[in-house]
Amino acid sequence: MEFQHRTIVHIEAELQDRKVETATFGMGCFWGPEARFGGLPGVMRTRVGYAGGTTAAPTYREMGDHSETVEVEFDPQVIRFEDVLRQFWRNHYPNRGHYKGRQYLSILRYHDDEQLEVIERVKREMEGELGEAIETEIAPFETFTLAEERHQKYYLKRYPTALEQLKELYPDQHLLVDSTFAARLNGFVKGFRTCDSLFEEIAHWKLPPDYRQYLMDKLKAMKW
């Protein structure tokens, strides 16, 4: 089927037409966590940015009292918030203190009382695994400032040959920010997914069959 009039915007709109929840957290440098969570089935969007502080208009060079943060939008019918939290706590050390000020601080920002209840329950579980009290800074969500474009899908952008092949889907790199497909590719190149597991997942995405086939053909043809 001819796709010249069907951009990734149309594909993503169909794929992401579902109710999502948002998780906001910091666990050190945000590049790796974005790739890790972007590789998870059920995660629809990942973004990196700055949160947890009061400094107005933070940037990577002038972060002020904010921390490097990942914002994850996920489908709770596929992956539960408690499982997102387990991934969060199992993949960084939450008690390293104010290394480099607050930039790499372990933080959680909950979006409602239901999330807080789950956080408190899973935190107790994770303290049992860790064998010590968890010092993650937990507070209500206030603001999230999107990081500069060069930080979004950082590991995928380290493969310029692949990016060139993706231009048909993403003529402008800012389209990578909210893309589910780009999130999976970012996780793949960092080693959090295999190519076979991506094919298997995409084959079951809630998309018209021709859209699914188009993405799988694009993945199969890519040179890294």
Report d(CA 66, CA 145) in Å as an integer. 10
Between CA 118 and CA 123 the distance in angstroms is 8
Measure the N-to-C terminal CA separation of the chain; round to a whole number of Å.
26
Give the gyration radius of the chain's Cα atoms.
Answer: 18
- Annotated catalytic residue 29: yes
Beta strands in the chain (DSSP E): 21-27, 43-51, 67-74, 106-110, 137-140, 145-146
Q: Give dist(CA 129, CA 127) in Å, integer.
A: 5
Buried b (16+ CB within 10 A) or exposed e, 43-82: bbbbbbbbbbbeeeebeeeebeebbbbbbbbbbeeebebe
Catalytic residue among 29, 130, 163, 219: 29
Distance (Å, whole) CA 184 – CA 204 = 14
Q: Catalytic residue numbers?
A: 29
